Chain A
């Protein structure tokens, strides 16, 4: 690849790529992303490559192995252009038919189409309800890009924003545009990116750094990974533009080591960008120099906090520093450092290309643009969803997410990761917006949206998060480390049936010292999951404490398993499967669980055939007396 020495070189290359591909028909399969690979999309991709060659179509068809396409629940996904015919849950055995029928004969393979709730088959990706209700301005391009092919990105207009910035705008112009767009950090802080950039630009010192935070530690959030794996150049382009505005020539991309494919795809992207001269010296002939280094995390959630991350880049233990001296002024090696999240950087090329005015038309008054959410948990359409800020939770969970799995009832949605909180059913019409979510006792966070149903216990959820933080806190300061330790003791006690009067007050009291006196945001927000579950589900806490009852049937120590004598059909499956031989019974005899031996593992309720449903969980009430030994089963009509 020859170096691009000017923006007209870039335009030339783009034209060449487009004309090379003009006569080819594109077919995409999500085989370059971790979640696609988890569904064996790579095998589908290999099958496609082989079949295309076999049918002599190699010069007529362009096969693109893309990153994540968002609708993860239905992987592997194949999209055929230009119509964007979408096939879901494709198997290698479907490939021959796809090639012959659709690519060659322009006929749709019915059984691979998406079927909506009414059974109607949908042909075009854009009409699938999951995609229709989204606004995929950042994420949408994934379907047209093989992350290991920079030409794919260029063909879409990639790097033209950079060319515009370097060629037609001054660093101040770029800064102004970003400030006017009001884009706020998508990593959780929601701080206006433009203001942060300006602080660094104005800070003393010639050496400044720009950094991509790709640590993505919130469990259940994986949109940054999907952007990095699927469209790494969008982040690189944003980073170079930002560097130009700030006056930085050196950048870092801090990627968690749990994302090896993102590191790979990013490494390839950087190498290819360098070959084209889009990184390095004299970018596009502008005399601006900039290059970037990848730095891997090593498995610590707290190191995703901006000051901790910068300390880790220095090769030290990634512990947060007190934020009295802002990292934008004194960061890595005490130099001004701008740190922004992957998604924030990915928005920059769009803002420069289409203008701040266009960007501000999307979203709410104080939260502009779109946000990518990872919609996960008890929802039907698990995946990555991009919507304009201001979209309601109801739209996201029900219209896009398809509602709750297995026909269960929605209970709450958790946002903001371990720093966030739960939002109950009564507030489903809340628009997603930085400030609205904070007012409700949660926060936007990095965009994780964990949907929970009637089978999830809110006290257990609070305990889960504290357990997570007890391990992930750096442990340096007393309020956080010891506060979390004591709160976890209390929550464990409550879940074990040893809750006492005054426990809720104690939790609230400890929350105060955590929020007021902790050194960093991890400690300051650690109490949020507890406070928000108390706020909206206090009755569950009280039931656990006063009645020893877990109505969701989760907290083992508050449960008893019981076989209903009038439903048991003596199939003996539970008797055989019980790992501690706690079930007695025999042919035609009602089975009985010995409560003293029972370890509450839940195997019996899992294996009891659905048509009998004879095993129930009891909580907060005494277990009924066992039927006398030798009681015979009552044969039900269903069993005959």
Chain B
């Protein structure tokens, strides 16, 4: 196996030597810098949906905002993980998530860290932030495909596929502990999926 190429960059002023192919989240972890994430999981392909891990990168005089879970390390990159702009973005994203998941402990805690005291926005309380951890875990790790995305835009939802879920979920339920809003554990036991199937989506739509 050929030696993986090394890449040097800075994160918050700190020099980091990373391996080519690593993402910014992974490179930061190596030097003890933690970038907040919600839809990221080391066992799963990076998804880039929650945008909480947004960071500022600069190279050759050009600065922009990218998501650290997807962006690969680059030679000479200067990464800043906590600029005021980045913090403002995270704050607003958390506020937006709270609208759909106002009782989620994880989201409320993170929101408090970013200075959110009151819920400013309202939305249907689905208690789901569509991070996709359950869907992706079931597909990539378990290969069961018992749960999936349906719909588009503001009507996008996660539903169980009863024909499969009723045969495999009860003895698995591994996605339950991944759910940042604890929706799964609070709304199903892995045996019954009332209100969480495609038929429910089609009727309500």
User: Which A residues have a C-beta under 8 Å from some C-beta of B?
Assistant: 300, 302, 317, 322, 324-325, 469-479, 481-486, 488-489, 509-510, 512-513, 516-519
CB < 8 Å neighbour of A475 from B50, B65, B122, B154: B154
A484 with B154: CB separation less than 8 A: yes
B65 with A517: CB separation less than 8 A: yes
A470 with B51: in contact, given A478-B97, A516-B65 (CB under 8 Å)?
A: no
B49 with A510: CB separation less than 8 A: no
Q: Nearest Cβ in chain B — how far from A327, in angstroms?
A: 15
Chain B residues within 8 Å of A302, by CB: 152
CA distance A519 to B67 in the complex (A): 9
Chain B residues within 8 Å of A322, by CB: 48, 66-67, 70-71
Chain B residues within 8 Å of A509, by CB: 92
B93 with A478: CB separation less than 8 A: yes
A475 with B151: in contact, given A322-B48, A482-B97, A519-B49 (CB under 8 Å)?
A: yes
A324 with B70: in contact, given A473-B154, A479-B96 (CB under 8 Å)?
A: yes
Q: Nearest Cβ in chain B — how far from A496, in angstroms?
A: 15
B interface residue count range (under 10 / 10 to 19 / 20 to 34 / 35 or more): 20 to 34
A482 with B99: in contact, given A477-B49, A516-B89 (CB under 8 Å)?
A: yes
B49 with A473: CB separation less than 8 A: no
B33-75 near A? 1/0 per residue, CB < 8 Å: 0000000000000001111001000000000011100111000
A470 with B154: in contact, given A324-B70, A478-B49, A518-B51 (CB under 8 Å)?
A: yes
CA distance A11 to B56 in the complex (A): 58
**Residues in B152-191 with C-beta less than 8 Å from chain A:** 152-156
User: Which B residues have a C-beta under 8 Å from some C-beta of A?
Assistant: 48-51, 54, 65-67, 70-72, 85, 88-89, 92-93, 96-97, 99-100, 121-123, 129-130, 132, 149, 151-156
Top 9 nearest A-B pairs by Cβ distance? A475-B156, A482-B96, A473-B153, A513-B92, A517-B51, A475-B153, A470-B154, A485-B154, A517-B89
B153 with A481: CB separation less than 8 A: yes
* Interface majority SS (helix, strand, loop, mixed), chain A: helix
A519 with B48: CB separation less than 8 A: yes
B152 with A472: CB separation less than 8 A: yes
Of all chain B residues, the one with the shortest Cβ separation from A488 is B154
A513 with B152: CB separation less than 8 A: no
| 9 CB-based A-B contacts, threshold 8 Å | A322-B70, A470-B154, A473-B154, A474-B156, A475-B156, A479-B51, A482-B100, A482-B123, A516-B85
Of all chain A residues, the one with the shortest Cβ separation from B51 is A517
Q: Nearest Cβ in chain A — how far from B79, in angstroms?
A: 14
CA distance A476 to B50 in the complex (A): 8
A513 with B93: CB separation less than 8 A: yes
Q: Nearest Cβ in chain B — how far from A608, in angstroms?
A: 39
B152 with A473: CB separation less than 8 A: yes
CA distance A334 to B99 in the complex (A): 37
A478 with B51: CB separation less than 8 A: yes
Chain A residues within 8 Å of B154, by CB: 470-471, 473, 475, 481, 484-485, 488
B54 with A517: CB separation less than 8 A: yes
CB < 8 Å neighbour of A474 from B96, B100, B132, B153: B153
CB < 8 Å neighbour of B156 from A325, A481, A518: A481
A471 with B153: in contact, given A324-B72, A479-B93, A516-B65 (CB under 8 Å)?
A: yes
Q: Nearest Cβ in chain B — how far from A514, in angstroms?
A: 9
Chain B residues within 8 Å of A474, by CB: 152-153, 156
Chain A residues within 8 Å of B93, by CB: 478-479, 482, 513, 517
Chain B CB within 10 A, most for which of A481, A489, A519: A481
Chain A residues within 8 Å of B88, by CB: 512-513
Q: Nearest Cβ in chain B — how far from A526, in angstroms?
A: 11
Chain B residues within 8 Å of A471, by CB: 152-155
B130 with A476: CB separation less than 8 A: yes
CA distance A324 to B73 in the complex (A): 11
Chain B residues within 8 Å of A479, by CB: 51, 89, 92-93, 96
CA distance A572 to B124 in the complex (A): 46
A475 with B96: in contact, given A300-B152, A481-B156, A517-B51 (CB under 8 Å)?
A: no
Q: Nearest Cβ in chain B — how far from A372, in angstroms?
A: 29
Q: Nearest Cβ in chain B — how far from A362, in angstroms?
A: 32
Q: Nearest Cβ in chain B — how far from A502, in angstroms?
A: 11
